[in-house]
Amino acid sequence: MLLPDTCPVASNTSAQPALSWSIVGHGAIGLLAASRLQLAGYKPGLWLRQPAPVNIQFQQQPLQFLPAVPPLSAVLVPVKSYAVLEAVTTLLPHLTSDAQLVLSHNGMGNIEQVLPLLAPQQGLWFLTTTHGALKQAQSILHTGLGQSVLAPLNRAAQAHSGAVSAAMDCALGPVALTEDIQPFLWQKLAINAVINPLTALHNCHNGELAQPQYQQHISAILHEVCQVAAAAGYALHYEVTLERIHAVIQSTAANFSSMQQDIVHQRRTEIEAINGYIVAQAARFKLAVPHNAQLLHLLLQLQQGYGR
């Protein structure tokens, strides 16, 4: 289904000057963000391995994106968790000394690796989103109207808060700005730790997970995630989180999860940053997480050889 896209901000309304945005890659969420930015009056460029103009249709409108031209002052990095480090390392020599970088992906564990790579005036942000997008041939479909939570991750980011949140509000808004992204990341991690591996292993739509035969497994996976989150200092309420998971299963019932799609298309999955992160954190806190460990093992086996 196509959804109406409205970004009321046709020009930058923040007190800070509008930043010049670049988007890494040509994944569905990145192109959705680029399209919405362009329609709002920004002129986003695409940062691609092989720079070339990209033409797409978005809401019956033909759009063209040109390659991003360094130095880059603001970059959205909506790449898979396992590609973040390489993307950022490649970007580093092309960033301005006060560039703003926005990471956005499933899973956890990258922020800690990226922060020390940046110069003192370079800002790091995380944006977690529930928007859904699908790339079909030359078109971008906005398949799930969602919202996003955005947080600055260092001091250098806070200084650019107005300009970054204004742009992200256009790209993947409505955006809620928060000081602490961790609780939101744990919530999203719990959702992904259940839906992604189960739909990939059973090769099914998200909606299939509402069936009674999956409930015991869902409960066991989630109990482990809650234990690990608590040990890490982020209390996830089991019942509330279970309800959230079922709300996502319901609202995305007809969709395939990103991990199911990765397996179907024989691509590497984000399992290491999702259930793998839970297993790694559990080891740190000496907790047993057999269900998450089994999912990690099964998915690693399934994806063996894909995209490494």
Give the residue with the Cβ less far from ligand PAF, 72 or 198.
Answer: 198
CA distance 64 to 157: 29
Active-site residue (options: 43, 80, 135, 188): 188
The binder of ligand PAF chosen from 255, 269, 275, 281 (CB under 6 A): 255
Give the residue with the Cβ less far from ligand PAF, 196 or 292.
Answer: 196
CB atoms within 10 A of CB 64: 9
Both tokens of 141, joined, read 């479909």
Residues of this chain, 23-42, that bind ligand PAF according to CB under 6 A: none
Q: How far is the CB of 3 from ligand PAF (least distance, A)?
A: 16
The sign one gets for the Cα dihedral 186, 130, 274, 197 is: positive
When asked if residue 248 is in the footprint of ligand PAF (CB under 6 A), the reply is yes
Stretch that binds ligand PAF, among 7-15, 69-77, 239-247, 250-258 (CB under 6 A): 250-258
Cis peptide, bond prior to residue 67, ω within 30 of zero:
no
Contact 143, 1 (CB under 8 A): yes
SS3 labels along 148-172: EEEEECCHHHHCCHHHHHHHHHHHH
The binder of ligand PAF chosen from 20, 22, 106, 187 (CB under 6 A): 106
Instruction: Please count the residues of this chain forming the interface with ligand PAF, following the rule CB under 6 A.
Output: 11
Secondary structure of residue 61 in the 3-state scheme: strand
Question: Is 188 annotated as catalytic?
Answer: yes
When asked if residue 191 is in the footprint of ligand PAF (CB under 6 A), the reply is yes
Question: What is 25-45 written as a DSSP string?
Answer: S--HHHHHHHHHHHHTT---E
Give the residue with the Cβ less far from ligand PAF, 18 or 204.
Answer: 204
When asked if residue 252 is in the footprint of ligand PAF (CB under 6 A), the reply is yes
Residues that bind ligand PAF (CB under 6 A): 106, 191-192, 195-196, 206, 248, 252, 255, 257-258
User: Catalytic residues, which ones?
Assistant: 188
